[in-house]
Amino acid sequence: MGIAAYIKEIGRGHEGARPLAREQAQDLMGQVLDGTVTDLEIGAFALAMRIKGETVDELVGFCDAVQSRALAIDSDHPVIVIPSYNGARRLPNLTPLLALRLAQEGARVLVHGPRHDPARVTSAEIFQALGLPVCESAVAVHECWRRHQPAFITTEALSPALQRLLDVRWVVGLRNSGHTVAKLLQPIVGAHALRLASYTHPEFGQLMSQLAERTAADLMLLRGTEGEAVADPRRCPRIDLWLGGQAQPELGCAAQEGSLAELPVLPRAIDAATVAVYIQAVASGEKPAPTPLEKQVELLMRALARLEHTQAHERRA
C-alpha cells in the first residue's frame, strides 16, 4: 500500500486516527527508510504519528523494518545495549559512567546514539573526552570489547536511513517515531541483548512494559535522567526488568522516597571535558560513584548473569 493511504489512516488527529497493524507499520517504515517517498510525505508521516502516538503493534512493526535494514554486530556473550539520544541539558550526562562501570564489572557494553546535538552534551562527546573511540563499524566495536572497554557506535553507522529520519527533527522542529525506534534498536546477533529503556511520562512507561512482554524482550526500564537510561544520581528511580518478556521483580527496585540525607558528589559543570574528568575519578576510585547508579549496575550484572546461564543452556540444548 502506498504511503498516502497510510497517512490517511494515521493523520486524522488524536481522536480520529486509526492504528496500523504490525505488518502495515513495518511496510510504512520500510518505505520511509528506503527513500521511496517524498520529503513532504515523510514530514506528513512524522507529524501525524507525533499527534496520534504509537501503539505497541506500530512500534513493533517500525522496529521490524529498521532492524532488518540495520548493521548486525555478532557476539558470543550477552551484551548490555544502552541507547543515548538525549544527552545533557542541565544535569551531567552519566551514561558513559554507567557504561564504563559495567565494563569494569566484566560486561560487554554497546552504547549507541548521535555524535553531536547542538543543544545537548552527547555521550559520544564524553567518550571522546575520555579517550575512548567512537566506532563506525562492527570491527571497531569488537576491538573495544577485546580491550574490555564499553563501545560507542553512532546511529549513522548502525542505520544511515534511520539517521536521515532522525534528522527530520531539525527541519520540522519535533522528534518523530524514529527517535523512539532508535532507542529500541537491538543490533546484537548470536547472543542475548539486555536493552535499557527510559521514560518521562508514565503512559510511555506503560507502553514500554507492554512492548517488553509482547516481544519477549530482555529489557530494563526506568524513569530516565533527562531522557537518558541512567539512574538519577540524586535519587534512585523505580527500575523494572524483564527477561524473555517475563517480569523479574527481584531484579528491580522501588523508587527512593523521602528527603535526601546528602547530595552526591557530581561534576561542577556538564561540558564533556569536565564530566570526563569526573568519570575518570570515579572509575579509578578517587571519588565515590552515585549510589543510584551503583544500584543500577548491580541489578544489570545480576540480570546479565542470568542471561549467561540461559545462553549456555540454549547452546547445550
On the question of pLDDT at 279 being above 80, the answer is yes
Q: Quote the pLDDT of residue 203.
A: 93
Instruction: Provide the pLDDT confidence category of residue 196 given band limits of 50, 70 and 90.
Output: very high
Residue 99 shares a structural domain with residue 12: no
Residue 104 shares a structural domain with residue 220: yes
Residue 122 shares a structural domain with residue 61: no
**Residue 5 DSSP label:** H
Residue 239 shares a structural domain with residue 280: yes
Residue 140 shares a structural domain with residue 29: no
Reported for 132-141, long-range contacts at CB under 8 A and 24+ positions apart, including other chains, are 132/96, 138/71, 138/72, 138/73, 138/74, 141/73, 141/110
In this predicted model, what pLDDT tens digit does every residue of 128-184 receive, in sequence order? 999 999 999 999 999 999 999 999 999 999 999 999 999 999 988 889 999 999 999
Residue 112 shares a structural domain with residue 84: yes
- Per the structure, how many domains does the chain have? 2
Query: Which residues, 6+ apart, have CB-to-CB distance to 32 below 8 Å?
Result: 3, 42, 45, 165
Note whether 272 and 95 are within 8 A (CB): no
Residue 40 shares a structural domain with residue 148: no
Q: Give the CATH number, domain containing residue 38.
A: 1.20.970.10
Residue 172 shares a structural domain with residue 44: no
d(CA 181, CA 65): 10
d(CA 239, CA 230): 10
Residue 182 shares a structural domain with residue 305: yes
| Grid cell in block for residue 200 | 518521562
Instruction: Work out whether the CA dihedral 225, 228, 233, 236 comes out positive or negative.
Output: positive
Give residue 12's domain range: 3-69
Residue 55 shares a structural domain with residue 203: no
**Residue that has been written with the C-alpha cell 529500541 in this structure:** 184
Closest to 93 in 3D by CA, of 253, 260, 279: 279
User: Within a domain: residue 260?
Assistant: no
Q: What angle do CA 106, 110, 112 make, to 5 degrees?
A: 155
In this predicted model, what pLDDT tens digit does every residue of 4-34 receive, in sequence order? 999 999 998 777 889 999 999 999 999 999 9
Residue 220 shares a structural domain with residue 305: yes
Residue 88 shares a structural domain with residue 195: yes
Instruction: Provide the pLDDT confidence category of residue 265 given band limits of 50, 70 and 90.
Output: confident
**Average per-residue pLDDT for the chain:** 95
Q: Quote the pLDDT of residue 40.
A: 94
On the question of pLDDT at 102 being above 90, the answer is yes
Q: Which of 69, 93, 118 is the last residue of a domain?
A: 69
**HSE toward the beta carbon, residue 308, CA cutoff 13 A:** 11
Burial 101-115 (b: 16+ CB within 10 A, else e): bbbeeebbbbbbbbb
Q: Quote the pLDDT of residue 261.
A: 59
Angle between helices 272-283 and 95-104 (to 10 degrees): 30
Q: Give the CATH number, domain containing residue 106.
A: 3.40.1030.10
Q: Which of 46, 69, 92 is the last residue of a domain?
A: 69
Q: Quote the pLDDT of residue 15.
A: 77
